[in-house]
């Protein structure tokens, strides 16, 4: 989201240049701040007496710093001759550098895009640096020059004031977004506290009443050895007090977690060991209930990067519930497995299972399923503590009812990453090492998750002719550490080609021996920054897993472009770039189906069927990968909810579009891509969000994303309901053609999925 300014031509009739400038500048519309200011200044200069031609030029570097919407490579000068109706954008030879002497009073600007003797006056940005050059051409002579200067100086002062105001406004806007996020968090905390009070008065009351009553009886019998029940009463007091203590401990755990991610100590941990510890700890209870507990783990499970104490607590909570809720004689299984970027632990039982209407709420604080209270002691905090811990690790937890009865609770935590050279040392980027390694980590994980690859390697160009590994994930135990390679001619031409390939060309085949010595299939994808090869991503699957197909190839290419943009933008805005990359991961974790390779592939085919040019298809795929980022921020229980949304939940979902744009802004520098992302929740009839655009005003790419999103969310299975079949989903989309969706897009889409049947989403 950026400040938008637009021109109001009807008001430009004022003849005073300063008044014209301000009347052309407004805070509503579609133009970015610097562009809007330049166009308003140009309109003002045209009012100057004797102006034969006018131009406004901008220092492109300063513009990019001042305006998130500014694109590198945009023409940097807008000019019009006395007769021109419309201004034209151009990039005079020699760039801003050739203009600088004229700005400093050191001579004429020879490359001015307007004819005549030119007068150049600087206008400053908020930091006092010269950002814009205002230019008027006219008759030569010092008297004319002085007259032009007199007309321009007040305009320059206005421009300077406007740029400062716009910069302040942009800061305020991002502050507003941040505060809105904090407000949301505070609201949650507030609701939580309300529930604490409710729970305290209810659940603490029973044990406390018992303690008080029994204690009073005992107090009434001082030293009475003949009082036979004293031992029994003391036993009750002790067990009730212990119960109270356990509840208090859980609440304390909870508040500690709510505020304490900084308390975590991460280290590589063998989860199988933690599971066995938890099983041992709960063995007496399990034995007393005659439960059979089995642990299944693959022989070679990668280590997880976790806080061992906290994750042990998660396992104890899940296993404790399984033991608690499974009737005597039942079975509990704990299954460990390797996933793309994580290690997964699943706790399954053949107990009563969780009613489907409860799955959405089961992880909420103090939630207990219908009837649970009669079965067993509990405060309804164990699962929310577990979820909190898992989320602190950047992981994911879910519950489901097993088809054969019973429940499964499954959580994923990050896999250990391979140690390699630091990104700042290799690339020379001025980035704090800790931030840099977070970036590498999220890049590896996101690529792994989104392309379904358990192993990923990232290599970056070191500026001295070598590709150096900066991070790896899931390389098989015992694999040789990846080594740097020299970028030979063969390498360069492979990288410049820009396409992901299952094999490196024969010309460089030898030099990469040992680069990635895993069995199974691979995809090598170049990282390009414009025309410059900046690195390589390798994604790998294990022997026995399905080989990579066209959808994964396509997705890896899109991700490589996103990663190259992230690296290009990293310096100076590490935190924002990191956040933007993180939502990629979240989007996949929260099960948003449009972030899968299949969805992207279908999007590409629809774009082709609609006649998109190759470059526009690339833009659409870039947008498709990032467009639901904001959704990752909307609580997953709302997104995945079965019930109709309440008004406040609806508001939250609608707001995601703007949140999403703001979040991914550092990764999106193409205005078309931005438009696709911003408008994918518009409705064809003009009742959508965020701008209420209608019909052809909605960018075509956004209309395509709307249909694709609907298709995948209708057909995807949820934990509590099956997705619609193809025919029913198409019928539902067709029913909304013309109101919600563009009927033309819907028909092309329908023809595509009806004829090939190749659109079953991955669930
Ligand atoms: P508590 O067990 O203290 O009530 P939890 O947060 O651990 O709190 O669990 C919340 C609710 O989820 C429980 O009250 C119970 O209804 C349900 N639940 C949790 N685990 C299971 C399970 N393995 N089988 C059936 N229901 C479960």
Lowest mean pLDDT among 434-448, 518-532, 741-755: 518-532
**Model pLDDT, residue 534:** 94
Average pLDDT of the residues in 525-542: 91
Q: At 381, is the secondary structure helix, strand, or coil?
A: coil
Ligand 1 mean position to 635 CA, how many Å?
21
Encoding tokens for residue 335?
Answer: 């299954």
Tell me the CB-side half-sphere exposure of residue 409, using CA atoms within 13 A.
26
Lowest mean pLDDT among 352-356, 544-548, 649-653: 649-653
Lowest mean pLDDT among 80-84, 182-186, 200-204, 741-745: 200-204
In the predicted structure, residue 704 carries a pLDDT above the cut 80: yes
DSSP-assigned states of every residue in 574-635: HHHHHHHHHHHHHHHHTT-GGGSHHHHHHHHHHHHHTT--HHHHHHHHHHHHHTTHHHHHS-
Average pLDDT of the residues in 547-572: 92
Q: Under 8 Å CB-to-CB from 321, ≥6 apart: which residues?
A: 347, 382, 383, 409
Residue in 319, 378, 379 to alter for ligand 1 test, most ligand atoms within 8 A of Cβ: 378
**Model pLDDT, residue 16:** 86
* Burial category of 264 from C-beta neighbours within 10 Å (exposed 0-12, middle 13-18, buried 19 and up): middle
| Rounded Cα–Cα distance for residues 340 and 62 (Å) | 42
> Of how many residues is the chain composed?
763
Indicate whether residue 203 lines ligand 1 (CB < 6 A): no
For residue 547, give the DSSP letter. Answer: P
For residue 464, give the DSSP letter. Answer: S
**Model pLDDT, residue 485:** 85
More confident residue, 228 or 492: 492
Indicate whether residue 349 lines ligand 1 (CB < 6 A): yes
**Model pLDDT, residue 11:** 42
Indicate whether residue 381 lines ligand 1 (CB < 6 A): yes
Lowest mean pLDDT among 268-272, 457-461, 688-692: 688-692
Ligand 1 mean position to 715 CA, how many Å?
30
Mean pLDDT of the chain: 82
In the predicted structure, residue 121 carries a pLDDT above the cut 70: yes
**761 falls in which pLDDT band (50, 70, 90)?**
very low
Which residue's C-alpha comes closest to atom 17 of ligand 1?
369
In the predicted structure, residue 579 carries a pLDDT above the cut 60: yes
In the predicted structure, residue 367 carries a pLDDT above the cut 90: no
**Model pLDDT, residue 760:** 46
The CATH classification number of 590-763 equals 1.10.3210.10
Locate the ligand 1 atom nearest the alpha carbon of residue 318 and give its number: 20
Indicate whether residue 58 lines ligand 1 (CB < 6 A): no
Prediction pTM value:
0.63
Indicate whether residue 320 lines ligand 1 (CB < 6 A): no
In the predicted structure, residue 13 carries a pLDDT above the cut 70: no
In the predicted structure, residue 199 carries a pLDDT above the cut 80: no
Give per-residue pLDDT as tens, 321-336: 999 889 999 999 999 9
Q: Where are the beta strands (DSSP E) in 267-341?
A: 267-269, 292-296, 304-306, 331-338
Average pLDDT of the residues in 592-609: 86
More confident residue, 77 or 192: 77
| Rounded Cα–Cα distance for residues 649 and 644 (Å) | 9
| Rounded Cα–Cα distance for residues 49 and 136 (Å) | 10
Ligand 1 mean position to 321 CA, how many Å?
6
Indicate whether residue 594 lines ligand 1 (CB < 6 A): no
Q: Is the CATH number of domain 259-415 3.20.20.140?
A: no
Ligand 1 mean position to 705 CA, how many Å?
39
**719 falls in which pLDDT band (50, 70, 90)?**
low
Indicate whether residue 348 lines ligand 1 (CB < 6 A): no
Average pLDDT of the residues in 708-714: 88
* Burial category of 419 from C-beta neighbours within 10 Å (exposed 0-12, middle 13-18, buried 19 and up): exposed
**193 falls in which pLDDT band (50, 70, 90)?**
low
- Could you give the dihedral angle defined by the CA atoms of residues 192, 661, 450 and 595, in that order, rounded to the nearest 10 degrees? 90
Give per-residue pLDDT as tens, 492-524: 889 999 899 988 887 776 555 455 555 778 899
In the predicted structure, residue 222 carries a pLDDT above the cut 70: no
Encoding tokens for residue 300?
Answer: 């070679």
| Rounded Cα–Cα distance for residues 651 and 696 (Å) | 26
Residues 37, 167 contacting (CB under 8 angstroms): no
In the chain, the percentage of residues whose pLDDT exceeds 90 is 33
Give per-residue pLDDT as tens, 601-654: 999 999 999 999 999 999 999 999 888 776 766 655 455 444 455 555 556 666
DSSP-assigned states of every residue in 232-279: HHHHHHHHHHHHHHHHHHHHHHHHHHHH-GGG---EEE-HHHHHHHHH
Residues 632, 590 contacting (CB under 8 angstroms): yes
Would you kindly state where each structural domain of the chain is located, as residue ranges? 3-178, 259-415, 418-561, 590-763
Encoding tokens for residue 689?
Answer: 């969000």
CATH class label, 418-561? alpha beta
Q: Sign of the CA dihedral 430, 431, 432, 433?
A: negative
Q: Where are the beta strands (DSSP E) in 289-356?
A: 292-296, 304-306, 331-338, 342-349
**217 falls in which pLDDT band (50, 70, 90)?**
confident
**Model pLDDT, residue 113:** 87
More confident residue, 153 or 263: 153
Residues 499, 536 contacting (CB under 8 angstroms): no
**Residue 105: its H or E element:** none
| Rounded Cα–Cα distance for residues 41 and 25 (Å) | 9
**Model pLDDT, residue 651:** 62
């Amino acid at each position: 989201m950026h400040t938008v300014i637009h021109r109001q031509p009807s008001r430009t009739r004022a003849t005073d240049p300063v008044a014209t400038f301000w009347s052309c500048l407004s805070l509503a519309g579609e133009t970015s701040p610097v562009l809007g200011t330049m166009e308003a200044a140009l309109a003002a200069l045209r009012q100057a007496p004797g102006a034969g031609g006018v131009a406004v030029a901008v220092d492109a570097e300063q513009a990019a710093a001042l305006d998130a919407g500014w694109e590198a490579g945009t023409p940097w000068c807008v000019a019009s001759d006395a007769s021109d109706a419309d201004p034209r954008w151009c990039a005079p030879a020699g760039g801003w550098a050739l203009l600088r002497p004229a700005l400093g009073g050191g001579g004429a600007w020879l490359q001015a895009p307007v004819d005549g003797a030119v007068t150049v006056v600087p206008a400053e940005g908020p930091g006092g640096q010269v950002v814009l050059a205002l230019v008027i051409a006219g008759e030569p002579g010092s008297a004319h020059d002085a007259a032009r200067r007199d007309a321009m100086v007040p305009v320059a002062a206005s421009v300077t004031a406007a740029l400062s105001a716009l910069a302040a406004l942009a800061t305020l806007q991002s502050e507003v977004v941040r505060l809105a996020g904090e407000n949301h968090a505070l609201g949650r905390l507030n609701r939580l506290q309300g529930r604490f009070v409710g729970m305290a008065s209810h659940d603490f009351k029973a044990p406390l009443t018992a303690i008080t009553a029994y204690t009073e009886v005992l107090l009434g019998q001082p030293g009475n050895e003949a009082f036979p029940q004293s031992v029994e009463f003391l036993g009750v007091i002790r067990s009730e007090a212990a119960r109270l203590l356990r509840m208090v401990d859980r609440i304390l755990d909870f508040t500690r977690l709510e505020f304490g991610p900084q308390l975590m100590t991460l280290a590589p941990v063998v989860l199988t060991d933690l599971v066995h510890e938890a099983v041992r700890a709960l063995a007496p209870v399990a034995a007393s209930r005659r439960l059979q507990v089995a642990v299944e783990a693959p022989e070679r499970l990668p280590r997880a990067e976790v806080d061992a104490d906290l994750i042990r607590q998660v396992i104890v909570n899940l296993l404790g519930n399984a033991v608690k809720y499974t009737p005597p004689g039942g079975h509990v299984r704990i299954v460990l497995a390797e996933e793309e970027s994580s290690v997964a632990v699943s706790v399954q039982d053949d107990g009563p299972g969780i009613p489907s209407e409860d799955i959405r709420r089961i992880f909420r604080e103090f939630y207990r399923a219908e009837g649970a209270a009669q079965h067993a002691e509990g405060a309804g905090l164990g699962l929310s503590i577990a979820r909190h811990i898992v989320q602190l690790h950047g992981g994911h937890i879910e519950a489901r009812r097993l088809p054969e009865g019973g429940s499964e609770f499954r959580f994923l935590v990050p896999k250990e990453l391979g140690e390699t050279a630091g990104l700042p040392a290799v690339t020379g980027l001025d980035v704090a090492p800790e931030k840099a390694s977070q970036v590498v980590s999220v890049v590896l994980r996101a690529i792994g998750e989104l392309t379904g690859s358990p192993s990923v390697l990232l290599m970056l160009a070191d500026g001295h002719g070598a590709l150096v590994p900066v991070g790896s994930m899931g390389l098989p135990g015992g694999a040789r550490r990846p080594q740097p390679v020299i970028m030979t001619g063969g390498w360069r031409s492979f990288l410049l080609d820009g396409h992901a390939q299952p094999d490196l060309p024969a010309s460089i085949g030898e030099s990469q021996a040992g680069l990635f010595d895993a069995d199974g299939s691979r995809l090598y994808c170049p990282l390009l920054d414009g025309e410059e090869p900046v690195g390589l991503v390798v994604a790998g699957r294990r022997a026995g897993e399905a080989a990579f197909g066209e959808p994964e190839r396509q997705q890896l290419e899109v991700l490589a472009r996103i990663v190259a943009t992230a690296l290009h933008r990293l310096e100076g805005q590490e935190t924002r770039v990191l956040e933007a990359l993180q939502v990629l991961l979240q989007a996949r974790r929260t099960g948003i189906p449009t972030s899968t390779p299949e969805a992207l592939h279908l999007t590409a085919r629809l774009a082709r069927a609609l006649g998109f040019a190759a470059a526009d298809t690339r833009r659409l795929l870039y947008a498709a990968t990032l467009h639901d980022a904001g959704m990752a921020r909307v609580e997953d229980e709302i997104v995945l909810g079965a019930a109709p949304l309440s008004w406040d939940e609806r508001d939250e979902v609608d707001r995601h579009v703007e949140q999403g744009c703001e979040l991914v802004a550092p990764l999106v520098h193409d205005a078309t891509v931005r438009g696709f992302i911003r408008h994918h929740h518009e409705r064809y009839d003009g009742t959508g969000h965020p701008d209420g655009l209608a019909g052809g005003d909605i960018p075509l790419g956004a209309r395509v994303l709307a249909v694709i999103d609907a298709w995948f969310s209708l057909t995807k299975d949820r934990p509590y309901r099956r997705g619609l079949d193809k025919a029913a989903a198409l019928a539902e989309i067709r029913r909304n053609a013309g109101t919600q969706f563009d009927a033309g897009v819907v028909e092309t889409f329908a023809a595509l999925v009806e004829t090939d049947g190749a659109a079953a989403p991955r669930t």
